[in-house]
Amino acid sequence: MLNVVIFGAPGSGKGTQSKLIIKEFGLEHISTGDVLRTEMKNGTELGKIAKGYIEKGQLVPDELIIGMLAKVLDSIENKNGVIFDGFPRTIKQAEELKKMLNERKTDVKYAINLDVEEDELINRLLERGRLSGRSDDNLETIKNRLEVYHSQTAPVAGFYIKEGKHHTIKGVGTIEEIFERIKKKLCQTS
């Protein structure tokens, strides 16, 4: 199974590139952010709890996210593999993901880290905020999301470096150029 973690700061293009990767490789897409936004829209208990964290730019607690992910994973029938977008975001989540996949006789194959400088991230997110109005795409929340990324999520790269699965990809350029870089990496090392 081709299980891929797509990793990177808010606005680095995880969702955009995931869409292209799933099409090319026939994978399932799990975005924990998208799942949480659906829960929020549906006004579920989890959605109500998540809203408070998302709107402040903080991470939703690990226990909630891990429980939610296990359920989503069990509902998937795709045997080609899964792309994990926005998960894991803490070392704890990375360890739990490994356990969950190992229990299902599989593991993460590649962790693709999209590298984009901070000014570009902020510009992309402010622009999206102007267009679509995602509730966390405002300057104050964006700054918190970036801070949380550096303190809690960036260390997850170390987890995958140790496992020999980490690949940094330059995340600046056209969407197609970046996708070509990812594709080359996934094909080259497989």
Sign of the alpha-carbon torsion through 171, 172, 178, 184: negative
Looking at 7-15, 45-53, 117-125, 147-155, which segment touches Mg ion (CB under 5 A)? 7-15
> Measured from the CB of residue 84, what is the shortest distance to ligand AP5 in angstroms?
9
| Distance, C-alpha 37 to centroid of its chain | 14
Q: Which amino acid is at 164?
A: G
DSSP for residue 80: S
Active site residue 162: no
Catalytic residue among 23, 128, 143, 184: 128
Looking at 14-22, 68-76, 107-115, 153-161, which segment touches Mg ion (CB under 5 A)? 14-22
Of 177, 185, 188, 150, nearest in space to 13 by CA: 177
Q: Which residues bind ligand AP5 (CB under 6 A)?
A: 8, 10-16, 32-33, 36, 53-54, 57-60, 65, 86-87, 89, 93, 124, 128, 136, 145, 175, 178
Active site residue 145: yes
Active site residue 14: yes
The pair phi, psi for residue 110, each rounded to 5°, is -135, 140
Measured distance CA(83)–CA(89) in Å, rounded:
14
Instruction: Say if residues 148 and 58 touch (Cβ distance below 8 Å).
Output: yes
Residue 47 in contact with Mg ion, rule: CB under 5 A: no
Task: Return the residue of 15, 64, 98, 185 that touches Mg ion, per CB under 5 A.
Answer: 15
Choice between 35 and 66, CB closer to Mg ion = 35
Residue 129 in contact with Mg ion, rule: CB under 5 A: no
Active site residue 37: no
16's CB contacts (< 8 A; 6+ apart) are 175
The partner in contact with residue 166, picked from Mg ion, ligand AP5, none with C-beta cut-offs of 5 to 8 angstroms by kind, is none
Catalytic residue among 51, 56, 109, 134: 134
The partner in contact with residue 81, picked from ligand AP5, Mg ion, none with C-beta cut-offs of 5 to 8 angstroms by kind, is none
Of 73, 164, 142, 149, nearest in space to 115 by CA: 149
Catalytic residues: 14, 89, 128, 134, 145
